[in-house]
């Protein structure tokens, strides 16, 4: 029998797990002895916080951690799944939020399915869904676009196309950016979108400095906020 690949959400920042992770998620994470993670150092810090809620089954230094990030070649993925094929349960942990969503773990999950390995997602925070919930924008029809192009002209063209789609389909558009480039994205959105388009900026979700605000682009132009170096989600919905 194969093991189970548990998809374990992590906190969206350095905070206690109790407010955002169910006890059962913590119990499963605490009993596992093998993890696949984006970064071993931050994963160990996360497990220390889990330990404050549910004691780990073994010492942290004895827990095996294999790294999987955007630079990990696909040829390496079967090696990561080998313990599962040998019958051992393994946890997949993202840097923040839900693994395999805007996360390099999605390819590994696909390979697990192809290999006959059971995959079990656990409950925890998703910044994308939390932002959508709080935005007041269309939660029935939405699209997550991830990162927009870095090139300014290509980014502007993409924003124009997404706004047209939003208007024609009443669809909320959701995107992210690395924190140090948040200001560039916000400037591009404010300069490109139509003044009546509603734009939501959700920063530091679940954290002490959480900020969520939805208003028209015209209003944002008059009252911009500083989003530099803050984890943020950007959402907009255009008028039909």
Average pLDDT over residues 159-173: 98
Average pLDDT over residues 134-151: 97
Average pLDDT over residues 197-219: 97
Instruction: State the CB neighbour count (10 A cutoff) for residue 34.
Output: 16
Q: What is the domain partition of the chain in residue ranges?
A: 4-121, 127-237
Work out whether strand 118-121 and strand 90-93 pair parallel, antiparallel, or are unpaired: unpaired
Work out whether strand 198-203 and strand 211-216 pair parallel, antiparallel, or are unpaired: antiparallel
pLDDT value for 1? 87
Q: What is the mean pLDDT of the chain?
A: 96
Pick the CATH number of 127-237 from 3.40.50.620, 3.30.950.10, 1.10.10.10, 3.40.50.1100: 3.30.950.10
Task: Indicate if the alpha-carbon torsion angle 32, 36, 41, 45 is positive or negative.
Answer: negative
Record the tokens describing residue 98, joined without a space: 């839900």
Task: Indicate if the alpha-carbon torsion angle 134, 144, 67, 87 is positive or negative.
Answer: positive
Identify the CA nearest to 92 among candidates 68, 123, 125. 68
Average pLDDT over residues 25-38: 97
Average pLDDT over residues 88-97: 95
Taking domain 4-121, whether its CATH number is 3.40.1010.10 is answered by yes
For every residue of 31-91, DSSP letters joined together read: H-SEEEES-HHHHHHHHHHHHHHS--SS-GGGSEEEE--TTS-GGGHHHHHHHHHTT--EE
Asked if 91 contacts 29 with a C-beta cutoff of 8 angstroms, the reply is yes
Q: How confident is the model at residue 9 (pLDDT cuts 50, 70, 90)?
A: very high
* The model's pTM: 0.92
Average pLDDT over residues 145-153: 96
Is the pLDDT assigned to residue 186 strictly greater than 90?
A: yes
Identify the CA nearest to 214 among candidates 233, 224, 201. 201
Classified as helix, coil or strand, 146 is strand
Record the tokens describing residue 188, joined without a space: 């591009």
pLDDT value for 126? 96
pLDDT value for 176? 96
Is the pLDDT assigned to residue 224 strictly greater than 90?
A: no
pLDDT value for 207? 96
Higher pLDDT, 198 or 70: 198
Which residues are within 8 A (CB) of 149 and not within 5 positions of it... i.e. 6 or more apart? 155, 158
């Amino acid at each position: 029998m194969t093991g189970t690949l548990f998809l374990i959400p992590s906190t969206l920042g350095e905070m206690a797990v109790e407010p955002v992770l169910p006890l059962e998620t913590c119990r499963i994470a605490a009993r596992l002895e093998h993890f696949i993670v984006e970064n071993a150092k931050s994963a160990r810090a996360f497990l220390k916080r889990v330990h404050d809620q549910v004691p780990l089954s073994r010492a942290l230094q004895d827990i095996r951690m294999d790294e999987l990030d955007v630079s990990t070649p696909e040829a390496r993925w079967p090696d990561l799944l080998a313990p599962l094929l040998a019958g051992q349960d393994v946890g997949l942990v993202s840097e923040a939020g839900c693994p395999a969503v805007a996360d390099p773990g999605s390819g590994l999950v696909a390979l697990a399915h192809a290999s006959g390995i059971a995959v079990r997602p656990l409950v925890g925070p998703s910044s994308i869904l939390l932002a959508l919930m709080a935005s007041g924008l269309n939660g029935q029809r939405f699209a997550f676009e991830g990162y927009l192009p870095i090139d300014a002209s290509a980014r502007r063209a993409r924003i124009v196309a997404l706004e047209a789609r939003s208007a024609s389909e009443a669809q909320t558009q959701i995107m992210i950016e690395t924190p140090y480039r948040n200001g560039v994205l916000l400037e591009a959105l404010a300069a490109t979108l139509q003044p009546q388009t509603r734009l939501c900026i959700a920063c530091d979700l679940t954290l002490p400095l959480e900020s969520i605000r939805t208003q028209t682009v015209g209003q944002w132009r008059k009252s911009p906020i500083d989003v530099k170096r803050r984890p943020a989600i950007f959402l907009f919905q255009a008028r039909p």
